[in-house]
Structure 1
Amino acid sequence: MPPGPWLCLALLLAARAQSSWNPRPSRAQPRRPSDPGSARHARSYHHLEGDIRWRRLYSSTHFFLHIGPSGRVEGTRQPHCPNSIVEIRSVRVGVVAIKAVYTGFYLAMNRRGKLYGTREYSPNCKFMERIEENGYNTYASLRWRHEGRQMFLALDGRGAPRQGGRTRRQHLSTHFLPILVS
């Protein structure tokens, strides 16, 4: 007669108790890198660095980000305006540079939170890109803060850029959808 399932389970548990095999080491035991399979590898996101995307940044205030031939930053309602096509280049993980494709201006923010276009790439041109819970992206200046708070790219209800010190991550004016250029 074959052994019952409880007997098999009891024999298996007794065999494991006698062996030194432990499927889950306790947190009190330090892991040694010399043990095979115990070294923990840090995640690598180097494949994201240098990534280039052509998009139109559509604000939740119903404007496309537009960097004009003079470097002026504003919003436009024209969906096919060539000056609203931007190149979003990954500088490092989570940090991007935004450049208007046709005018050649980089989006930048100065110490006071004013948005402007510049021909030369500088630390003012780096923005932290974050995907929010609602699916929109926010772009905060990597270099500048206002009273310890991040300053965000934002277009108000008239399409004018908002002062960075008056923006918050929760404001709808800071939320952008990167729309694929077709």
Structure 2
Amino acid sequence: MPPGPWLCLALLLAARAQSSWGPWPSRAQPPWPSDLSISISSARHARSYHHLEGDVRWRRLYSSTHFFLHIGPSGRVEGTRQPHCPNSIVEIRSVRVGVVAIKAVYTGFYLAMNRRGRLYGTREYSTNCKFMERIEENGYNTYASLHWRHEGRQMFLALDGRGAPRQGGRTRRQHLSTHFLPILVS
């Protein structure tokens, strides 16, 4: 059986280091040991995405249940079918890599989830306001509470078929009600 492409690449680069072209420059050393005793995948360096921290995006979160996420002037979280409702414009701020805070631009409320999985709007930023943002295979985004879990499972932001927020403990990543498209504000 022929060797895999990664092994061939590793052997080629190791031969390059020993060839007449000279050794690798000190800052460009290959990321694996010279004896190749460990697999290539376990020696990879983690990428740094610190440049994404603090990123701010203004979007409308459109649910796959055909509602825009809406945080009203009282802090009530619900869905609306009105595409140009000012209370549906949210600021998605990257707190750290993969973690965001969602704030309604016009009402000033942060989206939050309590320990029971209930969604609400709050003026005070807290740990309840942090959500893990993930881009799913179908192109939609999901938002799971960073701090709270229900029986060990993540609790997601979700709007049901009537536009009402779903209880976090009853949501799963695969449910269409948890899938949102961040639409640019024009």
Tell me whether the two structures share a fold, i.e. TM-score over 0.5: yes
Contact 1:111 1:144 in 2 (8 A): yes
Distance 2:120 2:85 in 1: 19
**Deviation digits for residues 84-124 of structure 1 (CA, Å, limit 9, x no counterpart):** 00000000000000000000000000000000000000000
Distance 1:163 1:57 in 2: 18
Contact 1:56 1:65 in 2 (8 A): yes
Distance 2:165 2:2 in 1: 79
**CA 1:142/1:22 → structure 2, altered by over 3 Å: closer, same or farther?**
farther
User: Could you tell me how far 1:42 is from its partner in structure 2?
Assistant: 3.8
**Deviation digits for residues 14-72 of structure 1 (CA, Å, limit 9, x no counterpart):** 9999969999999999978999x999754211110000000000000000000000000
2:77 corresponds to: 73
**CA 1:166/1:24 → structure 2, altered by over 3 Å: closer, same or farther?**
farther
Contact 2:17 2:24 in 1 (8 A): no
Matches within 5 A, 1:38-77: 42-77=46-81
Spell out structure 1 runs of 4+ moving beyond 3 A: 1-35, 37-42
Q: Which runs of 5+ in 1 are unaligned?
A: none
**CA 1:66/1:22 → structure 2, altered by over 3 Å: closer, same or farther?**
same
Q: How many residues align?
A: 181
Q: TM-score, normalised by structure 2?
A: 0.79
Distance 2:6 2:102 in 1: 65
Q: Percent identity?
A: 95
Larger Rg: 1
Give the SS at the match of 2:43: coil
Distance 1:5 1:155 in 2: 45
Contact 2:31 2:44 in 1 (8 A): no
CA-based RMSD of the aligned residues comes to 8.0
